[in-house]
Amino acid sequence: MARQSYQPKIPVALMGNVHIAEGEATQSVANQEDIKKLFPNTYGMPVLTIEAATGELARVETFNIGIILSGGQAPGGHNVISGLYDGLKKLNPENKLYGFLGGPIGLVEHKYALLTSDTIDEYRNTGGFDIIGSGREKLEKPEQFEKGIEICKQLGIKALIIVGGDDSNTNACVLAEYFLQNKVGIQVIGCPKTIDGDLKNDQIETSFGFDTACKVYSELIGNIQRDANSAKKYWHFIRLMGRSASHIALECALQSQPNICLISEEIEAKNMTLNDIVDRITKVIVARANVGLNFGTVLIPEGLIEFIPAMRRLIEELNDILADNEEFNTLEGDDNKREYLKLKLTPESSDLYRSLPRSIARQLTLDRDPHGNVMVSLIETEKLLIEMVSKKLAQLKASGQYVGKFSTLSHFFGYEGRCALPSNFDADYCYSLGLTATRLIAAGKTGYMAVVRHLTRPASEWVAGGVPITMMMNMEHRNGKMKPVIQKALVDLNGAPFRHLEEHRAEWAEAATCYIYPGPIQYYGPSEVCNQPTKTLQLEHGC
């Protein structure tokens, strides 16, 4: 298809010969002594900037690379791979690119494919991770590393590229450190991926995939808003993906201007209860009903439930009670299980548990991931809120304080955006990240994440480089132990994107309509239509 022949735009500095400039020695964002002790070989390295150099691009000695896609899909992954492939071949046509299949497990189980130009051409500028597949296994044990070394040696692999979120890039650094300590001679470079947008900091402006996913969801929200404003009969409760942080919900709100957008980080900061949230939504519904507007949109971040302090305590208590609980597992029927839990929970959590709709209370007890945590993406928060708001409105109606009509529809948008055809922004950004990684490898670097900065400027002015992964780390409690991890970025309540929402939300809530209908992603046309970065990036950069 025509889109496959789109030639991604790249920074000028990546077009020819390069010079890699080194900055000052760096420190981790916190817990410097601990991180330094754990990463003696990769700690303190300088930030790298790739600059254009004069002269012809020199041909380098042959080398091979292995790539691993880790975690949830994000639009643009295939372009990271095509950027890597083209970058490698430009340095030496004999270089080879291997893809490990099904995520990190492919390295351990020696499942791989040699990526040829035929395969690469088929996947250029497409969404998905299906070229080699992805997986959520962690690379953290020396036995896994040794299996990895074995296959890399066999295939002549000089460097591994790990494309993933905060956890996968933390693992990439652990692997880089292990290879250096054991003088294995294999480099490791990370690449920032996740639609959730929570892998960002002073060095990484955004993770790839966030741009496309938010544009897809915003199109859908806009379409719903136009329908709501045409039919004028439904309140739409829309839950949006984002495991923990609310960046996606916030960005979609900035793009579509809904009547209500909940932000988990704000709810936690204000110590709000579920009832407070229900009150906030109900007030807007009543106010709109008073002027004859019985329709609207509510955006709900997927991670909301764990940011409501009392719900978080309830979930933590349930996690503890249910862990390896033979007694609970042998109980027959939902009623018996419910009675058992009511008695085991603390009185506050037990009250909250009883107040929840039965279906939600049951979801909280059933679904656990392999680490024993509740899987929030399966909890239908939008339905929970509809049920609670309906009850509240019925009470208000009975006392004559509400005169409207409340008909609802619920939606969950997540998978609709994770494998979408990448926007020009993500296609260009990812291809540039792939090229950047090849240049870092050619320069012998390891323990770095490939980065591209100044993303609100035209792509030709973007600046590519590398950031030491240890620089982004701190120590956090994970599964009962202190572990080095890359700090996850939650929505900053003092940041420009949230402040924009805060300044405008009263108007968006009550005016007849302030909706924006962004329409589908545009791939061709004027630059202001098809090359715009997210509103989040624009506001953060003062554009």
In the list 377, 423, 436, 534, the residue contacting ligand FBP (rule: CB under 6 A) is: 377
Residue 70's SS3 state is strand
Cβ proximity to ligand FBP, 86 vs 306, nearer residue: 306
The span of 84-92, 229-237, 240-248, 346-354 binding ligand FBP (CB under 6 A) equals: 240-248
| Residue 97 beta carbon to ligand FBP: minimum distance, rounded to whole angstroms | 22
Exposure of 77 in the CB half-sphere (CA atoms within 13 A): 31
Identify whether 279 is a catalytic site residue. Answer: no
Q: With CB under 6 A as the contact rule, which of the stretches 235-243, 250-258, 489-497, 515-523 interacts with ligand FBP?
A: 235-243
Give whichever of 377 and 410 is closer to ligand FBP, judged by the CB atom.
377
Contact status, residue 254 vs residue 535, Cβ threshold 8 Å: yes
User: Residue 196 Cβ, how far from ligand FBP at the closest point, in Å?
Assistant: 5
Q: Exactly one of 196, 198, 211, 426 is catalytic; which is it?
A: 196
Query: How far apart are the C-alpha atoms of 33 and 44, rounded to whole Å?
Result: 11
Among 128, 242, 258, 497, binds ligand FBP (CB under 6 A): 242
Shortest distance (Å) from residue 134 CB to ligand FBP: 8
**Among 191-199, 260-268, 433-441, 454-462, which window interacts with ligand FBP (CB under 6 A)?**
191-199
Helical H segments across 63-102, by residue range: 77-91
Binders of ligand FBP among 390-419, rule CB under 6 A?
A: 418
Three-state secondary-structure class, residue 73? coil
Q: Which is nearer to ligand FBP, 86 or 198 (CB)?
A: 198
Question: In the complex, what is the shortest distance from the CB of residue 449 to ligand FBP, in angstroms, rounded to a whole number?
Answer: 15
Q: Measure Cα distances from 286 to 41, 257, 275, 276 in Å.
A: 61, 19, 16, 15
Nearer to ligand FBP, 158 or 418 (CB): 418
Q: How far is the CB of 445 from ligand FBP (least distance, A)?
A: 24
Closer Cβ to ligand FBP, 35 or 248, answer by number:
248
Give, as ranges, the residues between 285 and 314 that touch ligand FBP (CB under 6 A): 302
Interacting residue with ligand FBP among 97, 241, 311, 509 (CB under 6 A): 241
Q: Which of 8, 66, 71, 77 binds ligand FBP (CB under 6 A)?
A: 71
Query: Which one of 17-25, 48-56, 189-197, 399-407 is the stretch in contact with ligand FBP (CB under 6 A)?
Result: 189-197
Residue 373 Cβ, how far from ligand FBP at the closest point, in Å?
12
User: Looking at 65, 163, 180, 195, which residue binds ligand FBP (CB under 6 A)?
Assistant: 195
* Nearest distance in Å: CB 165, ligand FBP: 4
Query: 3-state class of 89 per DSSP?
Result: helix
Count interface residues toward ligand FBP (CB under 6 A): 13
> Per rule CB under 6 A, is residue 72 in the interface with ligand FBP?
yes
Contact indicator for 30, 474 with CB cutoff of 8 Å: yes
Helix residue ranges per DSSP H, 156-303: 166-181, 210-231, 247-256, 264-269, 274-290
**Region near ligand FBP per CB under 6 A, out of 37-45, 67-75, 480-488, 492-500:** 67-75
Taking the C-alpha atoms of residue 177 and residue 479, their distance in angstroms, rounded to an integer, is 22
N residues, the chain: 543
Which range in 45-53, 66-74, 274-282, 403-411 contacts ligand FBP by CB under 6 A?
Answer: 66-74
228/261 with CB nearer ligand FBP: 261
Rounded to 10 deg, the angle between the 334-344 and 309-322 helix axes is: 110
3-state secondary structure of 192: strand
Site string for ligand FBP, 73-112 (x = CB under 6 A): -x--------------------------------------
**Residues in 126-165 that interact with ligand FBP by CB under 6 A:** 165
Residue 512, judged by CB atoms within 10 A of its CB (0-12, 13-18, 19+), counts as: exposed
Measure the CA–CA gap between 235 and 304, rounded to whole angstroms. 19
DSSP string, 296-325: EEEEEETTHHHHSHHHHHHHHHHHHHHTT-
Helix, strand, coil content of the chain in percent (nearest 5): 45, 15, 35
What is the nearest approach in angstroms of ligand FBP to the Cβ of residue 142? 24
Q: Which is nearer to ligand FBP, 44 or 417 (CB)?
A: 417
Give the x/- contact pattern for ligand FBP in 334-363, rule: CB under 6 A.
Answer: ------------------------------
* Smallest distance from ligand FBP to CB 461, Å: 28
Shortest Å distance, C-beta 293 to ligand FBP: 32
Of 321, 325, 327, 318, the C-alpha closest to 360 is 318
Binder among 49, 169, 194, 446 for ligand FBP (CB under 6 A): 194
CA distances from 105 to 69, 144, 237, 244, 439 (A): 10, 9, 38, 25, 26
- CA angle (516 as vertex; 509, 533 as ends), nearest 5: 120
196: contact with ligand FBP by CB under 6 A? yes
For the chain, how far is it from start to end, CA to CA, in angstroms? 34
Instruction: Answer yes or no whether residue 236 interacts with ligand FBP by CB under 6 A.
Output: no
Contact of 51 with 13, CB cutoff 8 Å: yes
Nearer to ligand FBP, 368 or 541 (CB): 368
Q: Who contacts 221 (Cβ-Cβ below 8 Å, separation ≥6)?
A: 238, 252, 255, 256, 258, 297, 299, 413
Alpha carbons 231 and 246: distance in angstroms, whole number: 29
Q: Are 438 and 196 in contact (CB under 8 A)?
A: no
Task: Give the catalytic positions in this structure.
Answer: 196
Binding site for ligand FBP (CB under 6 A): 71-72, 74, 165, 194-196, 241-243, 302, 377, 418
